[in-house]
Each structure stands twice: as structure tokens, then as C-alpha cells.
Structure 1
């Protein structure tokens, strides 16, 4: 079997980004949050944990190397908390969160009265790097031949906009969504340019919000609130393309969609990709899609018929939510089924060509927040080893 579409990532065996934090790192972060240790003391523990997790990825055969997001509390940290004009508010009233958003609905049902968030209260401007330090440290602890595979994961540009709707930005600062997103896109372009100059060739957007557009619950809630969900999806697609307008063509850009990954392995939405597949695969200027496919809540492989010939899909067949290992023969069978459907798509292609457009991974990270899912560090290693071994058995030359 031939190699993926281009020599750059994604790799046949990939993973989403976040990994289980070791106990000593969680303890030190709790000390830091409680003002019982310094930032430097925390960083030393982070550094060691990252060195160890990089070695684990090597051992299991994962070439798309991340730092496990060990310097973050939440997967989306890094962009809006570093963007001038965004204001951190520890207690945002719950009515400033849109209850048609599936995870917000879950929190409201839990009787949340308020929650911490970021609201735009000034002109948005990137005055400092978002992920430079994270990339440079990873580069310093990896080998030159591994540098092209280093993956940096970034927050979805519409993250706070969908969550807060009309409350996302001060109307005295921006008169329209287009004005608001123009400055966000400019910040992303600047970040991508700098990361590229440092040697980054593998960037992944983490975006559970796009998958929410597959959920009937959100669509119904938007209709009830008078929100044009089709127009909003189109807006977000334009935002992505504006963010990526000047992207270097030898920088792999991935887009990860899932349906939530909370503390107890909880998900927030259901629904196949059918509703958004044509736009997702054909209108967003990314190279690959990391798609949740570990349970029936993600629907069938049918939407993959719309995958163009020049893009790759990374099938998230292995769950990161629970420790039970999937059956390797079952995984191989599912990859075969996906290849059959892609081959029958529009345009048609041979099954060998279709198989060449597929990679595999877990369906999400193992710790979208610092506390992580109910899996151990050893469980994570076994899951990633399973992904790597499955890829070897399918493609042989991994």
C-alpha cells in the first residue's frame, strides 16, 4: 500500500492531541492554582511530563507527536486567553450562554447559575504568540527527523461566538459578526505565519462545535430562538477560510470534530455528519478531517462519499472515553467498510485509492480538560499501541 496523499502529516496512526496527565503534574497544578508553588516549579514538572509522554508516543509508534496539552487546563486554552480585547469573567450569568448549544444545555440542566468565560470587550488583536513556547519546547525534546510531525492543536475560531451568541462581543466595539471575525481571522493568520517560521508543519483545529450542527437538538433550539443555523454554519466556514487565507501549502491543516468529551467520558450531542458533509469536505480549506466514529452516535460512514480525492480522513474508531480495548479485526473491518463507501462516492475512485485517503486514531483526546477521562496512563498507552498496530496490519509500510 502506498503512503498517504503527501509526505506531510497526517500519519496512518495518529492521535487527537490531549493525553492523560500524570498524577504528579495534576498535584503540582493544584498547588499552583492554590498559590502554593511558583510558575517555575510547575513548569519543571510540566517539562518532565512532556519528555516522558513524547517517549511514550515513540514507543507505541505514533509519529504525530504532541505535548499531550500538558500546559493547558482545557483543550481550547491558548488563543482567546492571549488575545487583547478578550476579557476573562469568572462569573458570567448563565443567560449569556446559548442553551441550544448541547454542552451549555447540559450545564444548565445541572442548575449552573453562572460560569467563567471570555467576552470580547475591546478590539481584538494578537499582541503575543499563542503557542510558540509549546512548539519550541516540543522541538527541543524531539529529534530533527521528528520535527515535521510535531502537532500543535488550536482552539476553534468560533468557540466563544457560538456559546454566547449576541453576547459574544460588545456592540460598541464591533457592529457585526463580520467585523468581529475579521480581527479573529487576522490573529490566526499571524499565529500560523509565526508557527510556520519556527518549523511547524502540522496544525490541528479542535472544533466540537461544527459537529453540534449535526445534532437535531441544536437545530431545533436555534429555530425556536430565530437563529438561521444554515447562515451561521456558512459564516463559520468563511471564518475558517479567512483564518487560512495565507496558509503555506506544505503545512498540514487538520480539523477535528467530536461530540464532547467531559470528565466521566460524557458526550453532549449525537447525529451523523450527513447534514454538514458536503460543506465540511468541500468548502473548508483543510487537508484532513479527524472524525469521531467510535459509537453509533456519530452515524454511519455514508457522508464519506463526499470526501474529495485530494483530502484525507482520520477515522476516530478507538474510544478515548473508557479503558476497554477494541478488537483489532473489528477495526480493520470498519476501515475496509469506509474505503468501500469512499470509493463509491462522487467522484468515484478505486478502493485502493480510497484506502490511501484513510488514517486511524482515537475519536478524541484522552483529556480534553486536565482531569481527563476515566482511563489510566497505561490504558492510554494500550489504546495508542492498538491504533499503531492496526495501521501496520492494514497499510504494512507504516
Structure 2
């Protein structure tokens, strides 16, 4: 697999962006059945045009629609997959306590939660993200189409959350059968996206970072769950989802530790526990890693990054309005390059630096309400990403 740096670009962003108030209000009116889908789309289109221009002005080349056509970052797959059933009030014991965000919600005394669970054989009978890609093409120039990035849900999203309740045993005898059908659905989706011109896909997956959290590891062991085997299963699922993908389809993997209302995170722990498997066994091209606070650990795990992959360092907070110091950001990038260079597969610091890009640590709105920073703060953060990138790399 050859190294792809374009995309991702030196200056990146994760995908979700701050939604304007007008869009939030219009979506609320749709939920209340006071406006039509067509009226909502008019507002979506206008809002996405504005956010595209914000990305251009900031120097961000990998264009997204900010996930403005979604409520949550993980929307798209399981709400469109035949065989999944929406449950407006899922029994709380169907949500595994060892999953960090589930644990956090239960501590907040959430009385109910909605979710999706499998009820019959899973099949992709309609596209997941093709509409969003095609609509974004209409709002961008032909020259920008190759740079459009589509963010997609992690394939194990509901499986980890629901454990033994993820699917009925009379439908699937085991996890391997369940994920085999999910992998086929992703393969079909990626083939269709590629045929439409998509060349940049990013998985959004907080769950893999949860395997770095001591709380989840301990909780699984108490339940008799082999967490190492489960991580191996999820790695196989990723690789199965990507079978047959074209060589020029760039695929990235974003890990974070939670980005909920008020900037709340759900888990802590460095990438050390999963680094070898993460970097060397999952067949993606690049990794978008949260690195804005100490909860993500050190850069030491980057020593396991192969020469043919890149890492996007999420050094800039999408939760706090205060701008990071440029000099400190550049020093941290240099430190990461030095550690990569010292890795198992030795390389020069300059070679390692060529494998690095920078970004905010997460999106600015994993859910529709967004983080507690303003639109102007977001613009300054995106501009800071590109300014630092240009000062580090001449090709930024």
C-alpha cells in the first residue's frame, strides 16, 4: 500500500462543523412536523454553501458538508440498513455498562435511550451516504470533487454498545456471521461512492479508543469478556469492509474519547495498549488521533507507525475557544516526528515529518447542538491549523 498524503492534506479537519442557529431551528420545526423536508433542504443547502466557503477561506482543502444533514456523527449506516430496528426506548440493560459513554450516561441518571438493534438478516437495500456526497458535489467546483471527504459510522458501533443484545441468536449464530453481512454492506457502499467520484472516506470511531480505557478493560474482564479477542474481531471487520477497494480510494480512521455537550469526554488512556494492532493490522491509510490533552497519552505509540501510512495529529481543541500557541504546536509536531523516526522501522526525522498532518482533535459538532464555542472561534481554529501547517511544511 503506497503512502497517500493528498488527501489527507497537511491541514485537516475531522468532519463535523458548527451548525448555524437557523439550521438547528429548521430541523426542530421538521421534527415537530411544522415544515417540510424540502424546506429543511433549502436551509441545509444554504448553510452548507456557507460552511464550504469557511473551509476555503481557512485554507482547508478536504471539503466536507460539516455533517449538516445529520443529527449525530454516526448517522447513515444502521438507520438505513435493512434488518435493523429503531427502538425509541431501548431497555437500559441492553446497553453495556463497561462502554465508557454508556457508563457516563447512566451516571447522569438517564432514564431512557433510543437505539438500533438487529432483528433480521442485514442487507444494504439503499445507499448510506451517496446522497450527501452527490449533494456536496453540486455545491462545490469540479476541481474540488476529488477532495470531498465523507465521514462514515464505525461498523462495530451498535455491537459494542449492546453486547449479547446486538442481534438475535436465531438470526445470526455468532459475531462472524453478523459482521459478514455488515462488511458486504460497507463494500457495496464504498463501491458506489467510488463510482460517483468519492476518493476520501473517514471512519469515525470512538470505540477503538475505548480499548485504551482501563475502565472498559476492567469492566469487560469482570463480565468474562475477552477484550483482546474482541479487538481482533473488530480489526478483521474493518479489513473485511475494505476488501476490494480501489488503490486511489484514501481511507482514514478517526479515534477520539468523546465530544459531548459542554466538551465532555468519556474515556482516557494512551494509544499504547492498541498501537501495534491499530497501526500495523488495520488496512487504512491514515489515522486521525486526538492529542489535545494529556488524556490521550504521549506520542510514544507513534513509534509503531509504518512508513506507508500517515498520522493526523489532533493538537488543536474543538471544545475550547482559546487558541493554542503556534510555537508549542510546532514543537509538538517535531517531537512526534522524532519519536516516529526512532520507531521499529527506522527513518529520518524529515521522512517522519512527511508522514504527519495536523487537525483539531475532533469535530466541532459530533451531535447537532455542537460544542460550546462560537462560529468565529471555529474559524480561528481552522485558520490556525493551516497557518501552522504552512509554517512547518512548504507544500501545505
TM-score interval (norm. to shorter): over 0.9
2:249 alignment partner, one of 248, 251, 268? 251
Match of 1:270 in 2: 268
Partner-residue secondary structure (3-state), 2:117: strand
Match of 2:79 in 1: 81
- The answer to whether structure 1 residue 291 and structure 2 residue 264 are counterparts is no
Partner-residue secondary structure (3-state), 1:269: coil
Match of 2:39 in 1: 41
Find the aligned partners of 2:349 and 2:103 in 1 and give their Cα distance.
Answer: 42
Partner-residue secondary structure (3-state), 2:323: coil
1:194-234: per-residue Cα shift (whole Å, max 9, x none)? 00000000000000000000000000000001110000000
- Give, in angstroms, the shift of residue 143 of structure 1: 1.4
Match of 1:354 in 2: 352
Partner-residue secondary structure (3-state), 2:261: coil
1:208 alignment partner, one of 206, 209, 230? 206
The two structures have a TM-score, normalised by structure 1, of 0.98
- The answer to whether structure 1 residue 396 and structure 2 residue 355 are counterparts is no
1:63-103: per-residue Cα shift (whole Å, max 9, x none)? 01100000000000000000000000000011100000000
- Give, in angstroms, the shift of residue 297 of structure 1: 0.1
Partner-residue secondary structure (3-state), 1:120: strand
1:144-202: per-residue Cα shift (whole Å, max 9, x none)? 22111100000000000000000001111111000000000000000000000000000
Match of 1:103 in 2: 101
- Give, in angstroms, the shift of residue 322 of structure 1: 1.3
Find the aligned partners of 1:112 and 1:147 in 2 and give their Cα distance.
Answer: 42
Unmatched 5+ stretches in structure 1? none
5 Å-filtered alignment, 1:1-398, equals 5-6=3-4, 8-398=6-396
1:265-322: per-residue Cα shift (whole Å, max 9, x none)? 0000000000000000000000000000000000000000000000000000001011
Find the aligned partners of 1:91 and 1:132 in 2 and give their Cα distance.
Answer: 29
- Give, in angstroms, the shift of residue 113 of structure 1: 2.9
Find the aligned partners of 1:266 and 1:34 in 2 and give their Cα distance.
Answer: 28
Find the aligned partners of 1:110 and 1:272 in 2 and give their Cα distance.
Answer: 25
Q: How many positions carry a matched residue from both structures?
A: 395
Q: Is the 8 A contact 1:292 1:364 kept in 2?
A: yes
Q: Which runs of 4+ in 1 moved over 6 A?
A: none
- Give, in angstroms, the shift of residue 5 of structure 1: 4.0
Unmatched 5+ stretches in structure 2? none
Find the aligned partners of 2:97 and 2:246 in 1 and give their Cα distance.
Answer: 38
Partner-residue secondary structure (3-state), 1:119: strand
- Superposition CA RMSD, Å: 0.9
Find the aligned partners of 2:157 and 2:117 in 1 and give their Cα distance.
Answer: 11
Find the aligned partners of 1:165 and 1:97 in 2 and give their Cα distance.
Answer: 8
- Give, in angstroms, the shift of residue 328 of structure 1: 0.8
Find the aligned partners of 1:248 and 1:281 in 2 and give their Cα distance.
Answer: 20
